[in-house]
Structure 1
Amino acid sequence: MSTRTLSPKTLSSKTMQQIPNVSVIVFNGFSPFHISVPSIVFGPDTLHETFFNLQFVAGEEGSILSDIGMEIHTRAKLDSLEQADIIIVPYWRTIDERPNTQLIEALRLAYARGALIVGLCLGGYVLAYAGLLAGKRAATHWELEQDFTQRFPETSLDTNALYVEDSGVITSAGTAAGIDCCLYVFRKYYSSTIANRVARRMVVPPHRDGGQAQFIEQPIPITTSDSRINELMDRIRNDIGHKYTLDELAESVMMTRRTFTRKFHKATGMAFGEWLAAERFNLAQDLLESTDLSIEQIVAQTGFSSVLAFRDKFKERYVVTPNRWRKTFHQQN
């Protein structure tokens, strides 16, 4: 899977010329939720600072009314996509309808000059109709997998992925996966530290791998409805490098091992080991990006059993080595 080189991940000396331009294409019959996701992630209100220049672009002539009667007024037309670094198609009204010729041509031209093209949920159909997914991997909502495969056989559909990037085109699965996908795009331009701040303001998990299965009971939880589990998770986060055992943890919350295992899974939707590994990987990513600690020091702080185990598991999870991750995402000061 190949990707394109994007803007440097730096917040220093940020000028308007360095800020990426994001264009979100809207159509008549749009879904308010789907267009609100890129608006919140890339808009200036979430962190009260401008990290992206965001605009909505009319994908067709005429009124732009939502499926529940809301209306969008935008002066930006398809020719404005010539200045876009990122183009997001957040939705499409019907899988049987081919988008207008002007939109398809604008998307093709933008892709040819190197813009990052993103299709959220049914927005992937627009990209497929434009021929931008031919010969590439892609994701879509699980309910539409059979239709998508039959309609676009030249695209290799990943039937489990939350989102997929291939050669400068990103597609995502259903509703909530659009949030994960947009946060992933944010991370491509800025560090995970900044992207995580956006996620925390939205009260969503800071990062879910694109390859994570769509059929998941819950994303990585920040808090749960079980106060004892919440306190335990906070305590573990503050000492993530400790070697934990289920017996030790169960005793600390005055439960049997079996009861603890059941309650933790009920509260978080994850087995304890799965949750702990995710927390350790999240911390490792932050340390790789925001510090100059050696791999050995990061392993010691995050609680992995050895440098070799950390490198192997990191590469298995993210498809790149820790050193490559650092080289790509390390903050420039």
Structure 2
Amino acid sequence: MTRTIPDVTTVALAVTDGMLHFELSLAYEVFAAAPDAVPGPWYDLAVCGPGGVRAGRFRLEPDAGLDRLPYADTVIVPGWADVDADPPAELVDAVRAAHEAGARVASLCTGVFVLAAAGLLDGLRATTHWAHTRVLADRYPRVTVDPDVLYVDNGSVLTSAGKAAAMDLCLHLVRLDHGASVANAVARRLVVPPHRDGGQAQFVTTPVPAPDRHPLADLFPWVRERLDQPLTVEDLARRARMSSRHLGRHFKSVTGTTPLQWLLTQRIRYAQELLEATDDSVDTIAAATGMGTATTLRRHFNRTVGVPPDTYRRTFRLRTRPGPGGDPLDAPRAKRLRSRDD
């Protein structure tokens, strides 16, 4: 059976006693309510668990049982509190069954231990909170554990590091399904950075400041309005009224990267939006994003995104074909979706 991304419409949060409430709440916030920028249907979200469950000090009443996971298109496993104990067998079995039925399965933080116990990560690269990567590697030697990234996307199986990185992975899923503009709208609603690449290191020297409380707050929108221009570090420093060296220190503190790398990231993001929303040629998009030539855009885009611009455009449009509506985890609908690709 071959399953394609256009069918992704339902999201199930798989919960049992011992789940971490932060990651659970975070995922619920991302997938429960559509931002204004969404032109079509949003996700059908359901919390699935074996009756009433405890997440931290909170008690939850799930919408459905774990037996409903195989009917979901995306299954998300929040953080697991006790990494020294084996996760519940019924949860492991349900997650494995969902993946075998064709679901995309993602873990947040220590939820990776559930995926590993289900055998979904054997032979694959994965990550989790840096404090637990050694335990994960020792317990599941067939998993290639990467402690230095925010999240890992293996296609049908995805894993994230801890806390804030869980948000990065959730926004990554939204970006895959709905495009950069919609993911950015979700990020704006939640007042979080719109995107951090999965390969970025987990360690950040300082927390991300509020959007209007750092020295570069006025510079960022000014740059984004001029991405078609050949901006230099000196141009940015002049606009920010500081030396280039001082600018570099502020960029490292605020964004975790250099001015030039941040500027390139903005150009790539804008290119993604144009590829998604317009029929402009790669040459036209290269000019609009300040890349100069299609060759330059293709080189940077391929290195950053992992595919050439033309491939990205085709894949995105396949992924965002309108899907059917329906109630959360409607079993007949999910079966019809999968039967199309049998």
8 Å Cα contact 1:57/1:76 also seen in 2? yes
The equivalent of 2:282 in structure 1 is 295
Describe the shift of the 1:75–1:325 C-alpha distance in structure 2 as closer, same or farther (beyond 3 A): closer
The equivalent of 1:274 in structure 2 is 261
Q: In structure 2, the residue corresponding to 1:71 is in which secondary structure?
A: strand
The equivalent of 1:176 in structure 2 is 164
Distance 2:121 2:59 in 1: 30
User: Is the aligned partner of 1:104 residue 2:92?
Assistant: yes
The equivalent of 2:70 in structure 1 is 82
Q: In structure 2, the residue corresponding to 1:213 is in which secondary structure?
A: coil
The equivalent of 2:338 in structure 1 is none
Describe the shift of the 1:265–1:131 C-alpha distance in structure 2 as closer, same or farther (beyond 3 A): closer
Mean Cα deviation higher: 76-85 or 250-259:
250-259
User: Is the aligned partner of 1:34 residue 2:30?
Assistant: no
Q: In structure 1, the residue corresponding to 2:98 is in which secondary structure?
A: helix
Mean Cα deviation higher: 78-87 or 294-303:
78-87
Describe the shift of the 1:19–1:158 C-alpha distance in structure 2 as closer, same or farther (beyond 3 A): closer
Structure 1 residue 267, shift from structure 2 partner: 4.1
Q: In structure 2, the residue corresponding to 1:303 is in which secondary structure?
A: coil
The equivalent of 2:55 in structure 1 is 66
Listed as ranges, the gaps of 5+ residues in structure 2 are: 323-342
Structure 1 residue 224, shift from structure 2 partner: 4.8
Q: In structure 2, the residue corresponding to 1:201 is in which secondary structure?
A: helix
Measured against aligned partners, the alpha-carbon deviations of 1:283-316 in whole angstroms (never above 9, x if no partner) come to 0110111111111111111111432222112111
Q: In structure 2, the residue corresponding to 1:30 is in which secondary structure?
A: coil
The equivalent of 1:246 in structure 2 is 233
User: Is the aligned partner of 1:325 residue 2:316?
Assistant: no
Q: In structure 1, the residue corresponding to 2:188 is in which secondary structure?
A: helix
The equivalent of 2:80 in structure 1 is 92
Structure 1 residue 221, shift from structure 2 partner: 7.8
Q: What letter matches 1:6 in structure 2?
A: T
Structure 1 residue 5, shift from structure 2 partner: 4.8
User: Is the aligned partner of 1:231 residue 2:218?
Assistant: yes
Describe the shift of the 1:240–1:115 C-alpha distance in structure 2 as closer, same or farther (beyond 3 A): same
Q: In structure 1, the residue corresponding to 2:234 is in which secondary structure?
A: helix
Q: Relative contact order: is structure 1 or structure 2 higher (C-alpha 8 Å, sep ≥ 6)?
A: 2
Listed as ranges, the gaps of 5+ residues in structure 1 are: 9-17
Structure 1 residue 220, shift from structure 2 partner: 8.4
Structure 1 residue 206, shift from structure 2 partner: 1.8
Describe the shift of the 1:113–1:233 C-alpha distance in structure 2 as closer, same or farther (beyond 3 A): same
Across the aligned residues of Structure 1 and Structure 2, the Cα RMSD in angstroms comes to 2.4
Describe the shift of the 1:5–1:193 C-alpha distance in structure 2 as closer, same or farther (beyond 3 A): farther
Q: What letter matches 2:14 in structure 1?
A: I
Measured against aligned partners, the alpha-carbon deviations of 1:26-54 in whole angstroms (never above 9, x if no partner) come to 22233221111111111026559751111
Describe the shift of the 1:150–1:251 C-alpha distance in structure 2 as closer, same or farther (beyond 3 A): same
Q: What letter matches 2:153 in structure 1?
A: E
Structure 1 residue 19, shift from structure 2 partner: 6.8
Work out which of the residue numbers 286, 295, 302 in structure 1 matches 2:273. 286
8 Å Cα contact 1:25/1:90 also seen in 2? yes
Q: In structure 2, the residue corresponding to 1:65 is in which secondary structure?
A: strand
8 Å Cα contact 1:221/1:268 also seen in 2? no
The equivalent of 1:7 in structure 2 is 5
The equivalent of 1:265 in structure 2 is 252
Work out which of the residue numbers 35, 44, 47 in structure 2 matches 1:56. 47
Distance 1:243 1:48 in 2: 30
The equivalent of 1:204 in structure 2 is 192
The equivalent of 2:325 in structure 1 is none
Alignment TM-score, normalising by the size of structure 1: 0.87
Q: What letter matches 2:242 in structure 1?
A: M
8 Å Cα contact 2:116/2:122 also seen in 1? yes
Q: What letter matches 2:199 in structure 1?
A: G
Distance 2:3 2:302 in 1: 20
Q: What letter matches 1:173 in structure 2?
A: A
